[in-house]
């Protein structure tokens, strides 16, 4: 069976369930398309990057962010309350001594509002099983070779809690504006599988 054939079979099954729910009044006409559009227009890693750049340039904000991220991100117009239920957010900052990396070993919990849709590798059994057993080896597979002296903390997200990493500010970026700094921050940097 080709992938296309399998995909068309499941497409038909999904359409069938949608039509059934519409006929029973549990789904409004056009509701699915509206939700998809809203989701795709919603979270993006640019949100997380904006938080990081602000933290790099404003030590007071950085302290508030690490102390109570749910409150602090409201200062930059963001919130963890936009999804199905408000999620607790903890932000952890990398230092010369410690590197942080985020996973959800049980499923795929992820701060979508700040990072956008999650990549498949984050949801894979390979990442979920291995990053807690051998974080240094997994980070090396991502091309991030950390010094042996660097401590690695792995944060396991749950149904109620989400995590985001503040990478270390790269050297030689003193002259950059906040938007330019935000442009340096990647999704993998915010998860912890890249340096920035």
Q: Which stretches of the chain bind other proteins, using CB under 8 A?
A: 7, 10-18, 20-21, 24, 26-27, 31-33, 35-36, 39-40, 84-85, 103, 105-108, 116-117, 119-121, 123-130, 132-133, 138, 141-142, 156, 159
Q: Which is nearer to other proteins, 28 or 173 (CB)?
A: 28
**Active-site residue among 108, 153, 158, 161?**
108
Q: Is 107 a catalytic residue?
A: yes
Report how far residue 117's alpha carbon sits from residue 102's, in angstroms, rounded to the nearest whole number: 15
Nearer to other proteins, 53 or 109 (CB): 109
- Give the dihedral sign, CA 169/171/176/182: negative
H or E segment to which residue 40 belongs = helix 31-40
Q: Which of 7, 8, 107, 124 is catalytic?
A: 107
* Residues in a beta bridge with 156: 103
Residue 117 or 178 with smaller CB distance to other proteins: 117
Is 104 a known active-site residue? Answer: yes
Rounded to a whole number of angstroms, the minimum distance from the CB of residue 141 to other proteins is: 6
Name beta bridge partners: 148: none
Of 98 and 160, nearer to other proteins (C-beta) is 160
C-alpha–C-alpha distance, residues 82 and 156, integer Å: 22
List of E strands, the chain: 88-93, 98-103, 151-156, 161-166
Q: Which active-site residues does the annotation give?
A: 104, 107-109
């Amino acid at each position: 069976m080709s992938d296309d054939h399998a995909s068309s079979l499941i497409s038909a099954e999904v359409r069938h369930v949608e039509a059934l729910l519409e006929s029973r009044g549990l789904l409004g006409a056009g509701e699915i398309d509206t939700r998809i559009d809203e989701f795709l227009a919603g979270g993006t890693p640019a949100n997380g990057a904006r938080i990081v750049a602000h933290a790099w340039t404003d030590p007071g904000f950085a302290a508030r962010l690490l102390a109570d991220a749910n409150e602090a991100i409201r200062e930059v117009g963001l919130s963890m309350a936009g999804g199905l239920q408000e999620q607790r957010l903890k932000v952890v900052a990398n230092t010369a001594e410690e590197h942080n990396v985020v996973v959800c070993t049980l499923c795929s919990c992820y701060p979508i509002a700040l990072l956008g849709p999650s990549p498949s590798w984050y949801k894979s059994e390979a990442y979920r099983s291995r990053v807690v057993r051998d974080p240094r080896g997994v980070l090396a597979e991502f091309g991030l070779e950390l010094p042996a002296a660097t401590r690695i903390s792995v944060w396991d997200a749950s149904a109620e809690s989400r995590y985001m990493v503040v990478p270390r500010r790269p050297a030689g970026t003193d002259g950059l504006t906040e938007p330019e700094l935000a442009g340096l921050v990647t999704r993998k940097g915010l998860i912890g599988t890249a340096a920035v």
